[in-house]
Amino acid sequence: MRLLLLSNAKTEGMAYLEYAIPHFQSFFAGKIERALFIPFANAAGDYLGFEAKAAVALAQAGIKLESITRFADPVQAVREAQAVIVGGGSTWKLLRDVRALGLLDAIRERVADGMPYAGWSAGANLACPTIMTTNDMPICDPKGFDALDFIPFQINPHYLHGNPPGFKGETREERIGEFGKLNPDTWVAGIREGTGFVIEDGAIRMVGELDCRVFKAGTEPCEVPARGDFSFLMSSQRPCA
């Protein structure tokens, strides 16, 4: 199984996905020329516009994108794809549409056979057991929270520690703590913008320079350095004293 799961696409002072181009280049390593793009997280439904925006960046990594919406049979498109790339946006709409089209099993089967999967934000959420640690509002009913279940832990993209001065709402850490109360056996990785995970054959490493904050019921939240050991996320170990 080969996964590239990124926190975000937009970075201050950089073009769309610009920061991630080296990660895509390293991950795909010139082994594919064309990837199937899944744009359903775009809540406005501008799928070809989304494809065009992402394609500009991915072309710099040597990858040509084709939106799944161009194909009459989306399941067959997944079966024939060299790779799948899933864009960010509304995780709820993404899961709803992927489920409705019967793509969950098709993607699972191909990834189990070695097809690379890459996604950012909502696309990273989709790779988790569920979408229960997404940040966005539930704008539609996805008919269940279960997702692709490629990894045994949850991701919280765009992780931001604390709150702006004067803001009294719940922090992200508090919200993740609520998830942990009801899901005590599951790790959550808060991945900051500009970072992500590469997972290959059960081995996991972080890309980007910022630390990752990890959470699990019964253990104190803690920071794991970007070049640290993240293997505990794939098991039940405790990373922090």
Cβ atoms within 10 Å, residue 80: 11
CA 215 – CA 220 distance, rounded (Å): 7
47 CB neighbour count, 10 Å cutoff? 18
Instruction: Quickly list H helices, the chain.
Output: 21-28, 47-59, 74-80, 91-100, 103-112, 122-125, 172-182
Whether 121 sits among the annotated catalytic residues: the reply is: yes
The catalytically annotated residue of 136, 141, 149, 161 is 136
To the query of whether residue 136 is one of the catalytic residues in this protein, the response is yes
Q: Identify the helix (H) or strand (E) that includes residue 157.
A: none
**Can you give the length of the chain in residues?**
241
Helices (H), 101-161: 103-112, 122-125
Residue 105 is among the residues annotated as catalytic for this protein: no
The active-site residue out of 46, 121, 149, 161 is 121
Closest CA to 83 of 152, 45, 121, 30: 30
| Residues with catalytic roles | 121, 136, 158
